[in-house]
Amino acid sequence: MFLFFFDSLQFLRTTILCSYPHPFSHGREGGKMGEVTVTNVTEYQAIAKQKLPKMIYDYYASGAEDEWTLQENREAFARILFRPRILIDVSKIDMTANVLGFKLSMPIMIAPSAMQKMAHPDGEYATARAASAAGTIMTLSSWATSSVEEVASTGPGIRFFQLYVYKNRKVVEQLVRRAEKAGFKAIALTVDTPRLGRREADIKNRFVLPPNLTLKNFEGLDLGKMDQANDSGLASYVAGQIDRTLSWKDVKWLQTITTLPILVKGVITGEDARLAVENGAAGIIVSNHGARQLDYVPATISALEEVVQGAAGRLPVFLDGGVRRGTDVFKALALGAAGVFIGRPVVFSLAAAGEAGVSNVLKMLKDEFELTMALSGCSSLADITRNHVVTEAEKLGVMPSRL
């Protein structure tokens, strides 16, 4: 009986064959070194840790200082409970989403993650192909190890470009125009990084971009390399290049150099949400930079409702940070998000299995989200309401109960 039960479980689980190339080797994946059964997104992290050099894994995995917010980004989701509705026809589930006028297969998109060729030789190429195949958006980092033109060459797809504002504004103008010319559809302006957060793992490891890689978007500008430093090479790079004077007037300035919609990425308060509306942003991404900037800020899911209320329906609000389950996606939408972005699951699955890993992450999250919708009595995104969840504040009686 036990053997039958075990065999049945194995049959039902999705088996992913992971190959193990050296992370800095060239070409496609080599021979298989083992078979790993992956049943959820989080399991890719352990595979990535086993495969990647410590400096690279720590760069992707770590947060700022005590990493309280890093842990809280996940734990805050666990404190939100469901109020499912029953006896509703869920024989057909429609997960299609509209983001800035673009129709997506689901409200799950890929956040910008820097230097993806540290994880896998195909890097951002693989991520772009996986996103396009899944019918969703990939956001390319300014600090990608593939250029906007190279990513565009992978074929059709809806892509956003994440922007850091450099002290040299001519560099910024050139980069934005290149992204626009390459067919990118929006700019995600990162606004929470006038200085780099204190990432102690990077300091201990003296993190630096491996010598065979460059920040491809800046390669011809003598800004593509990162010098070795006594602490973090990235922190030194940011201190030398990123403009600390960045302010709301620069959101206006960006609108004078591009017709692309501008998403403000890094908003976690209602006050800043209102300012984003006033300054012509096309959308907001509630983000704490993967808990890599200021520690002890709230989890993004905890900050979401305040930002949604501040935006007052005048622009869409998205969320990134801590999303690891389809249930997390549902909770974010119930609290007012128009969609979510995922970051670490992409680089960990990329390290584990290349493009196939990223595709599997997107599929698992989509499948989990569809199941959550069905079990909650929702057949479309419009059916997901605030009444479908109970937050910790409501449980404690701080907010009026919906029960």
Which residues are known catalytic residues?
A: 289
32 carries a ligand binding annotation: no
214 carries a ligand binding annotation: no
Q: HEC states along the chain?
A: CHHHHHHHHHHHCCEEEEECCCCCCCCCCCCEEEEEECCCCCHHHHHHHHHCCHHHHHHHHCCCCCCHHHHHHHHHHHCCEECCCCCCCCCCCECCEEECCEEECCCEEECCCCCHHHCCCCHHHHHHHHHHHHCCCEEECCCCCCCHHHHHCCCCCCEEEEECCECCHHHHHHHHHHHHHCCCCEEEEECCCCCCCCCHHHHHHCCCCCCCCCCHHHHHHCCCCCCCCCCCHHHHHHHHHECCCCCHHHHHHHHHHCCCCEEEEEECCHHHHHHHHHCCCCEEEECCHHHCCCCCCCCHHHHHHHHHHHHCCCCCEEEECCCCCHHHHHHHHHCCCCEEEECHHHHHHHHHHHHHHHHHHHHHHHHHHHHHHHHHCCCEHHHCCHHHEECHHHHCCCCCCCC
289 carries a ligand binding annotation: yes
174 carries a ligand binding annotation: no
162 carries a ligand binding annotation: yes
265 carries a ligand binding annotation: yes
141 carries a ligand binding annotation: yes
What single-letter amino acid sits at 120? H
322 carries a ligand binding annotation: yes
349 carries a ligand binding annotation: no
59 carries a ligand binding annotation: yes
241 carries a ligand binding annotation: no
190 carries a ligand binding annotation: yes
57 carries a ligand binding annotation: no
202 carries a ligand binding annotation: no
159 carries a ligand binding annotation: no
324 carries a ligand binding annotation: yes
Binding residues: 59, 112-114, 141, 162, 164, 190, 199, 265, 287, 289, 292, 320-324, 343-344
Binding residues for glyoxylate: 59, 164, 199, 289, 292
Binding residues for FMN: 112-114, 141, 162, 190, 265, 287, 320-324, 343-344
